């Protein structure tokens, strides 16, 4: 099993608007890029052709808030802008 297989078990009602956005300019100077291993839904992917090497997808987000803490709230990082998904949208757990 990989986490991608596990994510197949999760349901979303995906919003048209991203609740989390990434300012890739801030990723250029980020050396360890903790988003790549700390996001439990692998929303962050390393892609060389992206500015700062980060491709971000909000769609598979499980809404844990980790990226707000390890990126948005870190004065040396701050690429992530974080808010809660709009009413009725986003992840839908059945067995929380």
Partner 1 sequence: MTDVAFDVVVVGAGRAGVAAAYKLADEGFEVALVERAKQPGMKNVTGGVLYGSILDDLVPEFPEEAPLERHVVEHNIKLLHGDAEVSIGYRDLELREEPNYTLILGKFDRWFVDRAVEKGVTFLSETTVQDVTQEESRAVVHTDRENGDIACDAVIGADGVNTTVGRKTGIQRTMRNEDMALSVKKVIDVGRKTIDQRFNLDSDEGAAYIYTGFPQGAATIGYFIYTFDEYISVGAVGGLETLRWLGDEGYGETGTPLYSLLEDFMELDNVRPYVQGDAVEEYQGILVPEHSYDTLPDRHDRRVALVGDAAGLVLNKGYTFRGLDYGIKSGLVAAEAVMECAEDGDWDAFGRRYDTSLEDSYVLQDMKQHRHLPKFLKNERMYDAYPGIATETLRRMYSAETDASGLTWRQAYRAFRRSDAGVLDLLKDGYRGLRSL
Residues at the interface with partner 1 (CB under 8 A) = 1, 3, 5-7, 9-10, 13, 31-34, 36-38, 40-41, 46, 62-66, 68-70, 73-74, 82-88, 90-96
Give the long-range contacts of residues 9-16, CB within 8 A, separation 24 or more: 10/60, 10/62, 10/91, 10/93, 11/91, 11/92, 11/94, 12/59, 12/60, 12/90, 12/91, 12/92, 13/88, 13/89, 13/90, 13/92, 14/59, 14/89, 14/90, 15/85, 15/86, 15/89, 15/90
Least distance (Å) from partner 1 to the CB of residue 16?
13
Q: Which is nearer to partner 1, 49 or 87 (CB)?
A: 87
Q: Which is nearer to partner 1, 16 or 96 (CB)?
A: 96
């Amino acid at each position: 099993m990989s986490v991608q297989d596990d994510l197949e078990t999760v349901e979303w009602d995906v919003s048209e608007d991203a609740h989390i956005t990434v300012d890739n300019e801030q990723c250029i100077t980020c050396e360890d890029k903790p988003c790549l291993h700390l996001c439990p839904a692998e929303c962050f992917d390393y892609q060389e052709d992206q500015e700062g090497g980060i491709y971000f997808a909000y769609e598979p987000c499980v809404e844990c808030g980790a990226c707000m803490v390890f990126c948005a709230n870190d004065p040396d990082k701050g690429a992530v802008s974080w808010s809660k998904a709009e009413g009725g949208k986003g992840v839908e757990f059945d067995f929380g």
